[in-house]
Structure 1
């Protein structure tokens, strides 16, 4: 039961879903007793006070707690998955209104004062926010986007009738009623306005001023308005009275929730980890102490097993971008780092045979040609292959990347996209290009209408993946929904694809294939119709009646009209790469990853892909046919792990450079936290088979998201039925990790965690609690974006984090990834990093410009980007890390690359940690042994020990004392295969060793 049922049954459905989800999650748990954590500080806690008896209710980490007005031991109230926000008591104290996300959208709900009997007041595919009771208790004001912009609305508590109060094009949020009930004040920009409910007249209550204005609250006598005011020095409690504004109290981290009036003179609010009461006149402040206890159920489960040595053939499941030929007889696709052509019912044969990165094959309408992109000439360019003769022609050669080619019906023109996500057309004969669309937010591949007049592609509109129709003659565009409030599954290979007769657009929605009837220009002529019932991606037309698609690593064919799907067998397998070489490495120093002090003058004997022995160096050691590597002037360390990448966010633009760059910086393992699943799976198989150069790859598919979606590699999930399809994909495509994202409901998160754990697969998200209480394994980012936006998180406030976060994370055993964007400030300490030969050779021009801009920001010579940080921010971020480590927590090195600078950012993360208080040993372990432990492969990776895989880094200096030395790499060994930096750079014109 999910959104539609909740809308129908309100609070009754809420209880049912919670009970079912809790039971499902519990099935996966072992017998480990719950962990209890008691805290007396809170991060971004919100306070409400009962007007009936003074009882304090506060929201701490998404759990409601109740305690006496004098403070003391707090009692948890309400359900685990209620997901409350912005609590406020009704005037009679009988109910609490909250903004709750329990059904996947923010809606206004009420519960009784003990947290029970939830009742849903607003419904629909809208976000309803910031509840505020009217003085008579009959209505609740709130902010809603149900008319496209955020306006103030009211809901009648008894009837549920809605009324729109403000209609301006601006954003009106966080309402508060005047005590006489005649007007409502609200935040508009950085001012507070008030609207007269009878006349609609608007007046300014608090004039505009620099910085944040939030959470206004009228005093009971209507003389004063309290609010939170923020600036460079922090966030303070302010009171406006008689045209003057003054600060109240001395706290500099007042949490952005409405301060609640205890009387005409006293306010209670959350600030600097405490619950405080201040006098509005004198400013005198006292603390209300509390102790809140959380019960955490951490799962004990058997982790997925990895066989890094098996030579057994493995069936290929990583089939990316399949395209059915127009006659329906053949399929072209990407697998194992090459393009393949396969007759239906026959064996696949290679179309390409090189180590470079091919992507996005596309048939011409007459079936004689295939266009694709490859970086064989240095950057991703478009090529046209004649299917019969196998002769090919390079048709683009710009300095940037050109990808996603699609043929016009007459075979004369290609539509394609560039690295800036612009869409062009290319006249193949003349080479002339025309821009069709400016930059979009990572759009899907374009598809031509059969009359050649319109392009259809998926774009992001209002946090949904909608279909854009671009008229090539006029340049005009329009967007249409695939279904009411629906989204195309991903903005990648999931359509829309025009049928050859022009009658339908096919796409994946709700992870199944649908067809939308359309007219010649793509305008819908009826509702979309579902074609498949199984997990389905990447639709492709043959004739107008047949669709090819991917189902959990298998190709399937189906007739559009009531067809029964049938398999298209792909007779393709691979074996794991494992060298048969024997090597002896003489290391001047060895930091083994397990001990703080390095060993000196040792021999590391490698047999195939594993370390056979580590012994004191013997100058007279017999070679016995072994290759000898003289690293007597170098330090050998374990290969590095980047625990937070989106490896396929830009892989089609950077191609073969990406893996070489990572290895050249000593990164021998990466872990995806969200990627297009088939591209990720193809990458993992290519790397395992040795067909692609790069680190070993622990993959996940698309992040599981709610009905609104931002990233192109997040997958919106809208029903329990679809959730089952997603879990089938997790199982059958052998994920290494499941990531749930910002708007994924918490009860589903618990369900996914339980079912993933039964497969031995861990889960991660951006949230600390309640996931921590229900087995979620890890949290990404010290403080990352959430469903409340970038500006708010429950686990980080303006001044950082408080003991609730530290104790919950450390005692609950939930590691954090670093993703220190603020570490870009370290470039000021080493500006030459931007001109390192590895960067100059393997970064694209666009990536180098972005890195150079970070350097200018760090030096104070240029503007700083949205994700850039200052040394002070880096110091504060690392301060959180040191507190977590001191409390026994775990922090793992991760970068969010390529959102941060690929490869370089891992070293900047480590340098920032070491500069601001983390020991070199702790920093290095965060990128080696501790990361391997979290991946479940500590027996094979993370340290240099006998029996482990030979993933080694050879670097100048001594990183165990100076972390900066770690980037000065000469050679790297992954899985027993040794490469010099020069060898990794050579295919792209490099070869000069780093400084």
Structure 2
């Protein structure tokens, strides 16, 4: 059925037709009790403004405006909860509040009245306009904008909207404050505060560099003092510059990075250490202004998606990866179910490969006689070329690293390709050393070779847009351009651009539909033209008039003008792997996932993929047809779950090793929080079918992002029509989760959450509020990157989160993933981790180098990377975990791998929690039962109980006392199938690893 959902902001109705699944759903997730209220008396990173008219205080707390009397007390929520306000400041007459707001997917300057109503937008465009400051006469607002490429100070006329650029230096000028006489504007420049004279343009230094990091300057009413926030070894403090001297005022060590607002020439009000405080800058006396702010949360339960883990019925394959149409339009090659397939258009598919290894990126030669692809069957991801007619195959590359993404030269004598370092090369099939065309890029898309042989086209990320790059093959000279102004290619993967056979067009996906761009003389020769209107990915040319593409798991053909479109049926199915095993597992010790203390000397009887019985051990129990597994000297636990991975980010470079690595460390389930949709779906289907070795995989597609995009596993969404396409993809590809990312508007996030819940699946993001008020299920990272910057989040400050964050997360039931990058500091406790045989055998050379560098950092013997942390950082992060758990919150063990080291990082996360005070029982449940509950599969996974799926881990030691014992894996059972660590490593023992 289809349901219309309308949400209003500022009198504008936003409507989205929601297509809803009618599938049977499981029980609602526990902990969601419907509407609730949470009252808080502390605030994290709250920003304060004071009305000059009546002295009322307005503050931004977690993205909601609240108003209260100057003396404090009960605060009233004002304004729409999707206003997404930031940096509030009253006009000189107290009639309106200026703020930067993200309502339409870019930061713009808006004003609202003193009660948060009547929103008016003053700036527009595909730019970020930040940090508003009123002129003393109330006629203009100064702000920072990147509309000319660098962040400069601008002003906007409040009445007319006229813009004026004030600074134009090549440096970054931010956070303006207007002098009381209106003649100059001060601002932060680097590590200092400067002031520009508006009449002459002369610039002077107000606060010189060297006084500690500075932020949020604010002139006093008499112009004698400048208050600002200063960062240093003692934390963030309030400072005042006066008569050339700078001094600290107040005693707080976590002053929030917003302008202190002057109540008089001697008093400022600001947020610090969770409080609203007033400081007299002369005497430095300080008082706290108490508040109580109440949030209303809608946490209605919903029916969860039904997972039939016992089904034997055939299911249609939808995980079709990298489909390529032959030049004569007659045959398609693609990847599915862990193999490559050849399929006549209108006919049945047949395997081109049949093995356990990881093939990827098939592509036709221009004459249609050969197919090139990448495979790790020789121990690395190398390039191969196979003759379609005879099956004769040539190994083209045998380099130490990984080679992927081949594309044929027009004459068929060479391939262009990419390596694991995102460099682009060419190599002759006749042999020889590859020639580098492009150095490392930020996860570029697959290259396409122009028909004249001169140019490679691919997608790269420039200025947070997925732009088209043209590289001259001979010289390496490049040119980049947007497909349309402020537009992006949908993803940096299989979404193009691809040269047409006659070289006149580039085809690509943009806004999740197929477009073609006329190309001539080394660049665009006209505007792009839209070919399809439905969700469309992975375009592939046949002849110059025909395109193949993917539409939500279906193959479609279209003429290049879009006038004629037809389905290309893929008669390919699979059934879930259902073993016929009959196991008697003798466990010397069993930690079952529900009880803190383990049981001893028990037998676990497994029939098929489920646990039939758990009984006291009997030596005579094994009968005919049963396999005995002796774990009498081991501890059996539930299989582990990593709840935050981007599994496909490195899978094409690592190949078959990835799943074996995860299982060898006891990880029997992973959950993606953002991946290329079709690669993730193919991975899930291959694992479900038993065609690939690895854990269960709960997949999602690309993170839904705003118009600016960075990660290759994010998808920019630029409008209402495209949003509807993204929702259709989530439904038809049967996602297990939808993740919205940093610059995705909050009103859309609420809409997506409503849609996802109707499908029975959760949503997650990097934000606490307003998502927590509109049913968003999870928050990734204790503190993660946000649209305000990696170093800033509303849910954490210098001293960590205050009680508002803990109460909102815990009372709502919103789950929080750990992703403790600082846990790598624990490598100093156990350096042998880097020499573990699983690491030596299944890590790539590059991954081993990264892990070894983390060890040297932990030992103080080498530099630390951007994401590495210290023991003190780990202790502070785990303190947040402890506070969440003590308040009744939900904590999920997750790693962000492969941004952190795959598999090893989960164990380091768990060890860090254990070392710094989380009980072993809570640590173990964070990676077993609690994730199963959050995934909606507690009836099947997460504990060792009769009737549940047989996903088990056998380890030496007692993890219920020492969490580190979880890494001492000897065997693992996934879905009733037993694998020893030796068996998992065997195919790669003694073989070289890819790069």
Shift in CA distance, 781/134, structure 1 to aligned 2, threshold 3 Å: same
Shift in CA distance, 142/921, structure 1 to aligned 2, threshold 3 Å: same
1:5 corresponding residue in structure 2: none
1:359-370 to 2 correspondence within 5 Å?
359-370=360-371
Q: How far did residue 24 of structure 1 move? A: 12
Shift in CA distance, 443/17, structure 1 to aligned 2, threshold 3 Å: farther
1:9 corresponding residue in structure 2: none
SS in 2 for 1:650: helix
Is the contact between residue 449 and residue 520 of structure 1 (CA under 8 Å) also seen in structure 2? no
Instruction: Map Cα deviations across residues 917-969 of structure 1 (whole Å, 9 max, x no partner).
Output: 10000000000000000000000000000000000000000000000011000
Q: Once superposed, what is the RMSD of the aligned Cα atoms?
A: 1.7
Is the contact between residue 18 and residue 81 of structure 1 (CA under 8 Å) also seen in structure 2? no
- Residue 79 in structure 1 maps to residue 80 in structure 2: yes
1:245-394 to 2 correspondence within 5 Å?
245-394=246-395
Shift in CA distance, 23/426, structure 1 to aligned 2, threshold 3 Å: closer
Is the contact between residue 642 and residue 906 of structure 2 (CA under 8 Å) also seen in structure 1? yes
Residues in 1 aligned to 2:490 and 2:595: alpha-carbon distance in whole angstroms: 47
Please list every run of 5 or more consecutive structure 1 residues that lacks an aligned counterpart in the other structure.
1-11
SS in 2 for 1:409: coil
1:528-567 to 2 correspondence within 5 Å?
528-567=528-567
Residues in 2 aligned to 1:188 and 1:236: alpha-carbon distance in whole angstroms: 19
- Residue 630 in structure 1 maps to residue 625 in structure 2: no
1:242 corresponding residue in structure 2: 243
1:655 corresponding residue in structure 2: 655
Question: Normalising by structure 1, what TM-score?
Answer: 0.97
- Residue 696 in structure 1 maps to residue 691 in structure 2: no
2:54 corresponding residue in structure 1: 53
Instruction: Map Cα deviations across residues 366-389 of structure 1 (whole Å, 9 max, x no partner).
Output: 111111111111111111111111
Is the contact between residue 319 and residue 682 of structure 1 (CA under 8 Å) also seen in structure 2? yes
Is the contact between residue 22 and residue 747 of structure 1 (CA under 8 Å) also seen in structure 2? no
1:739-750 to 2 correspondence within 5 Å?
739-750=739-750
Residues in 2 aligned to 1:22 and 1:728: alpha-carbon distance in whole angstroms: 10
Shift in CA distance, 21/777, structure 1 to aligned 2, threshold 3 Å: farther
Instruction: Map Cα deviations across residues 489-517 of structure 1 (whole Å, 9 max, x no partner).
Output: 00000000010111110000000000011
Is the contact between residue 18 and residue 747 of structure 1 (CA under 8 Å) also seen in structure 2? no
Residues in 1 aligned to 2:218 and 2:135: alpha-carbon distance in whole angstroms: 12
1:739-818 to 2 correspondence within 5 Å?
739-818=739-818
Residues in 1 aligned to 2:18 and 2:710: alpha-carbon distance in whole angstroms: 31
Residues in 2 aligned to 1:431 and 1:79: alpha-carbon distance in whole angstroms: 64
SS in 1 for 2:658: helix
Instruction: Map Cα deviations across residues 99-138 of structure 1 (whole Å, 9 max, x no partner).
Output: 0000000000000000000000000010000000001100
Residues in 1 aligned to 2:18 and 2:277: alpha-carbon distance in whole angstroms: 38
Residues in 1 aligned to 2:803 and 2:622: alpha-carbon distance in whole angstroms: 58
Range with greater deviation from structure 2 (227-236 or 886-895): 227-236
Shift in CA distance, 627/33, structure 1 to aligned 2, threshold 3 Å: closer
Residues in 1 aligned to 2:233 and 2:13: alpha-carbon distance in whole angstroms: 42
1:470-485 to 2 correspondence within 5 Å?
470-485=471-486
SS in 2 for 1:34: strand
Q: How far did residue 669 of structure 1 move? A: 0.2
SS in 2 for 1:518: strand
1:213 corresponding residue in structure 2: 214
1:717 corresponding residue in structure 2: 717
Is the contact between residue 381 and residue 397 of structure 1 (CA under 8 Å) also seen in structure 2? yes
Runs of 4+ residues over 3 Å off in structure 1: 16-25, 27-33
SS in 2 for 1:838: helix
SS in 2 for 1:750: helix
Instruction: Map Cα deviations across residues 806-850 of structure 1 (whole Å, 9 max, x no partner).
Output: 000000110100000011111111010001000011000001100
Q: How far did residue 394 of structure 1 move? A: 1.0
- Residue 877 in structure 1 maps to residue 872 in structure 2: no
SS in 2 for 1:692: coil
- Residue 432 in structure 1 maps to residue 427 in structure 2: no
Is the contact between residue 382 and residue 403 of structure 2 (CA under 8 Å) also seen in structure 1? yes
Q: How far did residue 981 of structure 1 move? A: 0.4
Residues in 2 aligned to 1:457 and 1:209: alpha-carbon distance in whole angstroms: 44
Q: How far did residue 432 of structure 1 move? A: 2.4
Q: How far did residue 21 of structure 1 move? A: 7.8
Is the contact between residue 253 and residue 797 of structure 1 (CA under 8 Å) also seen in structure 2? yes
Residues in 2 aligned to 1:16 and 1:428: alpha-carbon distance in whole angstroms: 63
SS in 1 for 2:824: helix
Is the contact between residue 21 and residue 747 of structure 1 (CA under 8 Å) also seen in structure 2? no
Q: How far did residue 431 of structure 1 move? A: 2.8
1:15 corresponding residue in structure 2: 10
Shift in CA distance, 22/122, structure 1 to aligned 2, threshold 3 Å: farther
- Residue 512 in structure 1 maps to residue 513 in structure 2: yes
Q: How far did residue 713 of structure 1 move? A: 1.2
Range with greater deviation from structure 2 (615-624 or 182-191): 615-624
2:458 corresponding residue in structure 1: 457
SS in 1 for 2:682: helix
Shift in CA distance, 680/477, structure 1 to aligned 2, threshold 3 Å: same
2:154 corresponding residue in structure 1: 153
1:3 corresponding residue in structure 2: none
Shift in CA distance, 698/19, structure 1 to aligned 2, threshold 3 Å: same
Residues in 1 aligned to 2:387 and 2:290: alpha-carbon distance in whole angstroms: 76
- Residue 233 in structure 1 maps to residue 222 in structure 2: no
Is the contact between residue 9 and residue 80 of structure 2 (CA under 8 Å) also seen in structure 1? no
Q: What is the aligned residue count?
A: 979
Residues in 2 aligned to 1:801 and 1:767: alpha-carbon distance in whole angstroms: 13
Shift in CA distance, 942/654, structure 1 to aligned 2, threshold 3 Å: same
Shift in CA distance, 22/731, structure 1 to aligned 2, threshold 3 Å: closer
Shift in CA distance, 391/37, structure 1 to aligned 2, threshold 3 Å: same
Residues in 2 aligned to 1:979 and 1:772: alpha-carbon distance in whole angstroms: 41
Is the contact between residue 21 and residue 750 of structure 1 (CA under 8 Å) also seen in structure 2? no
SS in 1 for 2:848: helix
Residues in 2 aligned to 1:923 and 1:648: alpha-carbon distance in whole angstroms: 27
Instruction: Map Cα deviations across residues 570-611 of structure 1 (whole Å, 9 max, x no partner).
Output: 111011101101010000000000000000000000001100
SS in 2 for 1:876: helix
Q: How far did residue 623 of structure 1 move? A: 1.8
SS in 2 for 1:297: strand
Q: How far did residue 474 of structure 1 move? A: 2.7
Is the contact between residue 395 and residue 431 of structure 1 (CA under 8 Å) also seen in structure 2? no
Range with greater deviation from structure 2 (277-286 or 109-118): 277-286
